[in-house]
Structure 1
């Protein structure tokens, strides 16, 4: 894919259309007004770093739910420093659409969401694979893993969304998804 291609809303909406959730959510923390809803977006993740899980509907019938987005931002905070940055909705959409395309119910294992500049600098000093101006520092990226799917399967699902950057880290067993320009990398 060309590195200068922008986030394509049509590609992302197509991914959601192909995998639309048509049943009402059943998780215990769902908002009462979501019962019986048709067009929803849901994200499920687990953090081994904090032991926390999130399973929430964050979009319904064309509207984002601020309370759910705030929960996602808290969940995806920099666990090392406790600092938060609002997670870009487009990154959540890409992760959720990719998850839906794989047809699974298993939550993502989140390795990294938001990273403070301090954390990013520390990680960069330990690894050549950490970008100096990482989109993680803008709340626009997530590093994710699944037990039931290979890195290659996750990579292909994220690429099928035609939205943002997708990096395959086979040796570390995770996929990077972001809402920057459309591009791919990794082996």
Structure 2
């Protein structure tokens, strides 16, 4: 069973980081590594299609109770501010929330991403040009929010699944065709 050699924290030393890099490089070089990770029962995976950049991403982001650092780096880049290209640090718990939503709905469809990370400058611009609907202290700016939809899943079902989990905020935007999910306080709008 693939397992990270040690936890990755903000206190990880340079030596441990280099060792982890070698471990990840070995996984990247071995073509069977992604399939091996996906076959682990405790592996959690997600897939996405970004509606603004056209990019697609499918990966295992966690094994057992450990997040895969390489996957988090990929997710941070994928969910970057599509207006400015700025890359933020996404809350890994947001990925767990998305994983739980897909489980609740019984689907493996990729999430269509409308918005992930949003830089403060982009947030201010959108607030001043969109006539409302963009929060001044948006959780998008701190990597704790994402706007998504799931092909083949009615928005009301996506919203209801997220609400049933009681894991954070859920905003329903039927005219814009997305549901906002975040890892902030439990609330709805």
The TM-score, its normalising length taken from structure 2, stands at 0.79
Superposition CA RMSD, Å: 1.6
- Give the corresponding residue for 1:104: 107
2:157 alignment partner, one of 145, 153, 163: 153
* In structure 2, distance between residues paired with 1:33 and 1:171: 41
When Rg is computed on C-alpha atoms for both structures, the one with the higher figure is 2
1:75 alignment partner, one of 74, 78, 103: 78
SS at match of 2:71: helix
| Residues 143 and 30 of structure 1: CA distance in aligned 2, closer, same or farther (over 3 Å) | farther
SS at match of 2:175: helix
| Residues 173 and 62 of structure 1: CA distance in aligned 2, closer, same or farther (over 3 Å) | same
Q: Deviations over 1:99-121 (max 9, x none)?
A: 12111121111000000111111
Q: Deviations over 1:165-185 (max 9, x none)?
A: 011111111100000001111
User: More deviation in 96-105 or 130-139?
Assistant: 96-105
Q: Give the alignment of 1:37-186 within 5 angstroms.
A: 37-125=40-128, 126-185=130-189
Whether contact under 8 Å (2:38, 2:45) holds in the other structure is no
* In structure 1, distance between residues paired with 2:59 and 2:77: 13
SS at match of 1:34: helix
Alignment: residue pair count: 158
The TM-score, its normalising length taken from structure 1, stands at 0.80
* In structure 1, distance between residues paired with 2:38 and 2:162: 29
SS at match of 2:52: coil
Q: For structure 2, which runs of at least 5 residues remain unmatched after alignment?
A: 1-30
* In structure 2, distance between residues paired with 1:51 and 1:86: 21
Higher relative contact order (CA 8 A, sep 6+): 1
Whether contact under 8 Å (1:114, 1:142) holds in the other structure is yes
Q: Deviations over 1:55-98 (max 9, x none)?
A: 11101111110000111110000011110111001111111210
Name segments (4+ residues, structure 1) moved above 3 Å. Answer: 28-33
Deviation at 1:29, TM superposition (A): 8.4
